Amino acid sequence: MTGECFESVWDALEDSPAEAANMKARSGLMIAIQEAVVSWKLTQAEAAKRLGVTQPRMNDLLRGRIDKFSLDALMILATGAGLTVEWRVAKAAA
């Protein structure tokens, strides 16, 4: 039995390369924001206030509920968390 080999779990799960790329970007941002928030050592309510979101929204972020966050929303949260986001664009491997 042979299986396919994927570069990323998102490549295996998503229906198209574009959807996989979106999920890779969203998951990377979410992880970075989670790490920043945890480093603050605040309660969820305090961290939510600092980012200008509700406590339930903060809970969704910290629990990794990626389906509840668009790429735009995560970019705004990353900036609010004091993160700088840099993108690298390259041609796809042939």
Cβ neighbours for 41, distance < 8 A, ≥ 6 positions apart? none
Residue 1 has pLDDT above 60, yes or no: no
Q: What is the pLDDT of residues 55-69, one digit of tens each?
A: 999 999 999 999 999
Residue 59 burial (CB < 10 Å; 0-12/13-18/19+)?
A: middle
> Domain map of the chain by residue range?
9-80
Mean pLDDT across the chain, nearest whole number?
Answer: 89
pTM comes to: 0.83
What confidence tier does 94 reach under pLDDT thresholds 50, 70, 90? low
Q: What is the pLDDT of residue 15?
A: 67
Residue 28 has pLDDT above 90, yes or no: yes
Residue 94: DSSP 8-state: -
- The predicted model gives 30-54 an average pLDDT of 97
Percent of the chain with pLDDT over 90: 68
CATH H-level superfamily of 9-80: lambda repressor-like DNA-binding domains (1.10.260.40)
